Amino acid sequence: MTDWSALTESPLIDVSTLAERLAEAAPPTVLDVRWRLNGPPGRRDYLIGHIPGAVFLDLDDQVCGRPGAGGRHPLPEPGRLERELRAAGVRADRSVVVYDTGTGEAAARLWWTLRWAGHPDVRVLDGGYAAWTATGRAVEPGEAVAAPGDFTVVPGQLPVLDAAGAATTAERGVLLDVRVEPRYRGETEPIDPVAGHIPGAVNLPATRLVGPDGRMLPAAELRAQFEAAGVAPGTPAGAYCGSGVTAAHTVLALTAAGYPDPALYVGSWSEWITDPDRPVATS
């Protein structure tokens, strides 16, 4: 039986705790990463209203690399990422809280990117902006300007899968395909030019990991979902989706459930299919 007593601190933070921390002498740096697949950009929503002091980062242009052979949302160039994070006020000695509209995918990808880059203390606001406003908390319009940060990006601090690593994880561990079932089965593909999944991958849609309010399920319920998919302590586990955004949310959920070192296939399906020699499964 798994000993869950040694779980690390949760990567999530709730609205009440964030509000308390914002009142401290050294509050966390708050980053708004509201984003929609295929737009419009989240900055428009940010300018209408955001958590006081939050700085906006664009997932496509500032958090991820340029689309190409590495997929639609590849790893960012470290030097460019460092400049963007410092401009947003990210400091090495201050915690960071990230949020999106409330679905969690974009915030999870920024959380993952910051942790991959070596920041030691990053939390995702559970329920995002929707949870913040639902409690009647104050918001502010316009653009917040942060004092320049000093964070130094040291890439590679979280496990990353490439295509070969994803295939190996599917063979020797558990590779979670977190897209909806019809995309996994190859019945439809609304975004990428090829339908199907990586052979051996197990389908666990990311929608099963959140409640109706967009908040992450409790840790025990997350573990039940992952155990049903075959994830077990000591078994290599990784996740992929269309382009490595939604899969980052599953990596966040694995972390919240206490699984150590879950890996993200950053390129995900959008990279896998760039090589016609890679096999495609449908079922």
> Would you please indicate which residues are annotated as catalytic (active-site) residues?
241
Cα(234)–Cα(117) distance, rounded to whole angstroms? 25
Q: Would you tell me how many other CB atoms lie within 10 Å of the CB of residue 214?
A: 16
Instruction: Classify residue 8 as exposed, middle or buried by CB count within 10 Å of its CB (0-12, 13-18, 19+).
Output: exposed
Q: Show the DSSP H helices in the chain as ranges.
A: 15-22, 43-48, 78-87, 105-116, 128-134, 163-172, 181-185, 219-228, 246-256, 268-272
- What is the amino acid identity at position 245? V
User: Strand order of the sheet with strand 55-56?
Assistant: 12-13, 122-125, 96-99, 29-32, 55-56
163, 272 contact by CB (below 8 A): yes
The Cα angle at residue 151 between residues 149 and 153, in degrees rounded to 5: 145
Cα(172)–Cα(169) distance, rounded to whole angstroms? 5
